[in-house]
């Protein structure tokens, strides 16, 4: 069984560890973790998931088949320099660091199989919308293995690395946009007399139902919207306000700004 080492012990590393252990895809004894300085977090992960902590001798790193880079972008360079001497030439790198390209990873860790993954925070509940890209050194067998790992935290799409910028804007940052809508739809409903509890539950169920309708995939979003929008009705009145307030333009601007920032990060960490 593959030995996996996580470099970084934050929320995304924990979400993936949770998925792997919950789905029993990797035995906890084969999962190791280390981070820059937070010993308390390492101990908490060990206690919660029964996984292992990388020892000072870095034995787990030397034997690792898969190494997850899960540190903050600002710590990536120093972390890669530190671990490079310990990695076997065949170790596969899977990076969940936003903005750090495969070429940048290659510069620090050498020519080896490398995958970049853009998950989102819904990984914490096993519902991440993840995208993955890889270099030419990843075998078809390794691709299937990586996809299998990522499916423990949600769905996964294979894309070109260049497309990870827009994936970051759409799916990586997407939960925040949904929460923004939830925050203000809820507040608007409360302002008209609905209780917070009722507003929250109605919004959640509405989102879940709409998502399932989209997931069926047999009807385009525009047509689904038209089916709800009766001429002269309440929905038409509401949609008209969205149009008048240029919500479509705001959405385009949102995605443009987020993917542009992703490109800026890529240049910054080269």
Q: Encode pLDDT of 84-140 as tens digits.
A: 999 999 999 999 998 899 999 999 999 999 999 999 999 989 999 999 999 999 999
Give the per-residue pLDDT at 28.
93
Task: Determine contact, residues 156/139, Cβ cutoff 8 Å.
Answer: no
Residue 255 has what pLDDT?
Answer: 97
CB atoms within 10 A of CB 91: 21
Planar angle of CA 123, 124, 125, nearest 5 degrees:
90
- The secondary structure of residue 262, as a DSSP letter, is H
Write the pLDDT tens digit of every residue in 222-248. Answer: 999 999 999 999 999 999 999 999 999
**Would you say residue 1 has pLDDT above 70?**
no
Mean pLDDT, residues 160-167: 96
Report the alpha-carbon distance of residue 115 to residue 97 in Å, rounded: 11
Q: What is the pLDDT of residues 68-80, one digit of tens each?
A: 999 998 899 999 9
Residue 240 burial (C-beta neighbours within 10 Å; 0-12, 13-18, 19+): exposed
Map out the domains of the chain with their CATH numbers: 4-159 (3.40.50.720), 172-266 (1.10.3730.10)
- pTM of the complete model: 0.89
What integer pLDDT is reported at residue 55 of this predicted model? 82
Q: Which helix (H) or strand (E) segment is 164 a member of?
A: helix 164-167
Q: What is the pLDDT of residue 116?
A: 97
Q: What are phi and psi of 118, to 5 degrees?
A: -115, 95
Q: Count other C-beta atoms under 10 Å from residue 201's C-beta.
A: 11
Query: Alpha-carbon Rg of the chain, whole angstroms?
Result: 21
SS3 percent helix, strand, coil of the chain, rounded to 5, is 60, 15, 25
In degrees and rounded to multiples of 5, residue 32 shows phi and psi of -120, 150
Distance CA 206, CA 131 (A): 26
pLDDT tens digits, residue range 175-207? 999 999 999 999 999 999 999 999 999 999 999
Q: How far apart are CA 74 and CA 175, in angstroms?
A: 23
pLDDT of residue 37: 79
Bridge partners (DSSP) of residue 92 are 66
> Around 226, how many Cα atoms within 13 Å sit in the side-chain half-sphere?
5
């Amino acid at each position: 069984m593959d030995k996996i080492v996580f470099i970084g012990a934050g929320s995304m590393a924990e979400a993936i560890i949770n998925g792997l252990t919950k789905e029993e895809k990797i035995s906890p004894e084969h999962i190791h973790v280390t981070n820059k300085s937070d010993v308390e977090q390492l101990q908490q992960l060990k206690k919660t998931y029964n996984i292992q902590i990388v020892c000072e001798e870095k034995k787990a790193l030397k034997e690792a088949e898969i190494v997850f880079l899960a540190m903050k972008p600002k710590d990536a360079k120093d972390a890669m320099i530190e671990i490079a001497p310990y990695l076997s030439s065949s170790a596969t790198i899977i990076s969940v660091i936003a903005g750090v390209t495969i070429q940048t990873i290659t510069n620090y860790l050498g020519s080896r199989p490398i995958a970049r993954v853009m998950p989102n925070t819904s990984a914490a509940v096993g519902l991440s919308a993840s995208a993955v890209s890889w270099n030419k050194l990843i075998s078809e067998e390794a691709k299937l293995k990586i996809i299998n790992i990522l499916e423990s935290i949600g769905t996964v799409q294979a894309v070109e690395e260049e497309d990870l910028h827009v994936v970051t804007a759409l799916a990586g940052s997407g939960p925040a946009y949904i929460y923004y809508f939830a925050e203000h739809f809820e507040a608007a409903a409360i302002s008209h007399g609905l209780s917070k509890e009722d507003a929250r539950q109605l919004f959640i169920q509405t989102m879940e139902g709409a998502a399932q309708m989209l997931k069926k995939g047999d009807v385009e979003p525009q047509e689904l919207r038209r089916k709800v929008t009766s001429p002269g009705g309440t929905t038409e009145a509401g949609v008209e306000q969205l149009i008048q307030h240029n919500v479509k333009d705001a959405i385009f601007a949102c995605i443009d700004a987020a993917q542009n920032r992703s490109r800026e990060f890529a240049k910054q960490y080269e």
